[in-house]
């Protein structure tokens, strides 16, 4: 790698991906330089991170916490900003090379678009950005000559399998799913589960929203839509296979029938590091996979009748237009309501499906159409919570 360090902005530094990205940066001080850290409300951890890594600037989304951050960080020479507009503006700084978007949900769309407009390469951990407005995001990235490096383990796996193969058409991709904590369970079992059970993922350590999405298989549905835009695929070229061990992270099938899979232990630091350092593979101390510890790797079809969110997401992908935006907004409301014990696990797909039928379909939405679709879908979802 050349001597020039890559200057990184992390949007969502206090979340699961953000904290792991900081571990990667800390382990590679000769490769990466931290420029910007942002958080929504966790001001205490943001301050701690900023004092350790000494970024140029930080943004706290919650404007009420600006004074706390400013008093702690300005004496250290760190610029402090607050609010949604500051988040969208700070990514335009000339000193930034790569923006890691690790925000959760729809909130990642606006700052990601701002970063692309400013010509910054994107390490994308916020799948909702492409789910909501994949056509606008990918077209803008193409116009600005910006690369989007996937951070989701599944999409990173596809990206790694395509290295040296970009001239060869993809026949099909298989996104692997662990199946979550309720794999093999029936609707009778799911009718009584609580959030504490859903938050216990068997293989991955993730934030609450993504963990619930994994339990309901919505996460895999959103990943299908993300893959469509990342790799320029048709819905029929994307499939999901359940792989409980989470060792094979995804598979590419080429037109000659050959398949490539990317394997490794379930550790998000690897795809984070690959995205930030691409095309270089950095030496790491990550644990190595031991074949003898996994004598059997198994695969099975997902149960879309029990876990309806996956089927709904696939329907949204096929219908296109603003339907993926609807499903994302409704799902964000449902996950929040489930975590607050306001809806049951099985009510989530029922209400999401109703939202899909109630929001007016727009075949080719503008950015403002997406903003309005998101607002309307959330309003309807909230009204359907009993």
* pLDDT digit string, tens, across residues 36-93: 999 999 999 999 999 999 999 999 999 999 999 999 999 999 999 999 999 999 999 9
Spatial separation of the C-alpha atoms in residues 271 and 239, rounded to whole Å = 21
The structural architecture, per CATH, of the domain 320-386 is Orthogonal Bundle (1.10)
Tokens of 98: 């790569």
* pLDDT digit string, tens, across residues 217-274: 999 999 999 999 999 999 999 999 999 999 999 999 999 999 999 999 999 999 999 9
At residue 363, the pLDDT reads: 97
At residue 2, the pLDDT reads: 44
Counting residues of the chain whose pLDDT is more than 70, the rounded percentage is 98
The structural architecture, per CATH, of the domain 6-150 is 3-Layer(aba) Sandwich (3.40)
Over residues 90-102, mean pLDDT: 96
At residue 208, the pLDDT reads: 86
Counting residues of the chain whose pLDDT is more than 90, the rounded percentage is 93
**Which residues, 6+ apart, have CB-to-CB distance to 275 below 8 Å?**
100, 123, 124, 149, 150, 151, 156
* pLDDT digit string, tens, across residues 139-179: 999 999 999 999 999 999 999 999 999 899 999 999 999 99
- Is residue 1 scored above 50 in pLDDT? no
At residue 205, the pLDDT reads: 66
Largest CA distance in the chain: 61
* pLDDT digit string, tens, across residues 272-309: 999 999 999 999 999 999 999 999 999 999 999 999 99
pLDDT-based confidence at 196, cuts 50/70/90?
very high
At residue 39, the pLDDT reads: 96
Spatial separation of the C-alpha atoms in residues 314 and 199, rounded to whole Å = 24
Q: Minimal CA–CA distance to 88: which of 97, 101, 77, 78?
A: 101
Q: In 3-state terms, what secondary structure has residue 176?
A: strand
Parts of the chain belonging to CATH 3.40.50.720:
6-150
Q: Minimal CA–CA distance to 84: which of 56, 103, 97?
A: 103
Parts of the chain belonging to CATH 1.10.1740.10:
320-386
Average pLDDT, the chain: 95
Over residues 342-348, mean pLDDT: 96
Q: In 3-state terms, what secondary structure has residue 67?
A: helix
**Could you give the angle at the alpha carbon of 284 between the alpha carbons of 281 and 287, nearest 5°?**
120
To the nearest 10 degrees (0 to 180), the angle between helices 308-319 and 218-231 is 30
Is the pTM above the cut of 0.75?
Answer: yes
- Cα dihedral value 211, 217, 222, 226, nearest 10: 90
How far, in whole angstroms, is CA 373 from its chain's centroid?
20
Over residues 361-367, mean pLDDT: 97
At residue 229, the pLDDT reads: 98
């Amino acid at each position: 790698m050349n001597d020039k360090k890559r200057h990184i902005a992390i949007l969502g530094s206090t979340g699961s991906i953000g904290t792991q990205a900081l571990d990667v940066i800390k382990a590679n001080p000769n490769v990466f330089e931290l420029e910007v850290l942002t958080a929504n409300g966790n001001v205490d951890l943001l301050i701690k991170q900023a004092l350790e890594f000494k970024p140029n600037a930080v943004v706290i989304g919650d404007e009420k916490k600006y004074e706390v951050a400013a008093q702690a960080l300005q004496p250290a020479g760190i610029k402090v900003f607050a609010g949604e507009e500051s988040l969208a503006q700070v990514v335009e700084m000339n000193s930034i090379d790569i923006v890691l978007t690790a925000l959760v949900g729809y909130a990642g769309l606006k700052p990601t678009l701002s970063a692309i407009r400013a010509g910054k390469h994107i390490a994308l951990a916020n799948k909702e950005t492409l789910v909501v407005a994949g056509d606008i995001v990918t077209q803008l990235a193409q116009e600005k000559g910006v690369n989007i490096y996937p951070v989701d383990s599944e999409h990173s796996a596809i990206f790694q399998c395509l290295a040296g193969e970009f001239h060869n058409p993809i026949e099909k991709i298989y996104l692997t799913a662990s199946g979550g904590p309720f794999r093999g369970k029936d609707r009778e079992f799911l009718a009584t589960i609580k959030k504490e059970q859903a938050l216990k993922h068997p293989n991955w350590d993730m934030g609450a929203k993504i963990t619930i999405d994994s339990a309901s298989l919505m996460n895999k549905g959103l990943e299908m839509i993300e893959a469509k835009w990342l790799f320029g695929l048709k819905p029929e070229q994307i499939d999901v296979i359940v792989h409980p061990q989470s060792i094979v992270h995804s598979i590419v099938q080429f037109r000659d029938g050959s398949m490539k899979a990317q394997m490794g232990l379930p550790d998000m630091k690897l795809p984070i590091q690959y995205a930030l350092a691409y095309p270089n593979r950095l030496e790491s101390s990550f644990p190595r996979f031991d074949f003898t510890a996994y004598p059997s790797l198994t695969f099975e079809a997902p149960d879309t009748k029990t876990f309806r969110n996956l089927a709904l997401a696939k329907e949204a992908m096929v219908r296109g237009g603003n339907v993926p935006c609807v499903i994302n907004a409704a799902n964000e409301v449902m996950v929040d309501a489930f975590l607050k014990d306001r809806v049951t696990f099985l009510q989530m797909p029922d209400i999401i499906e109703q939202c899909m039928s109630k929001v007016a379909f727009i075949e080719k939405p503008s950015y403002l159409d997406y903003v309005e679709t998101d607002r309307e879908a959330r309003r309807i979802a909230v009204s359907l919570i009993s």
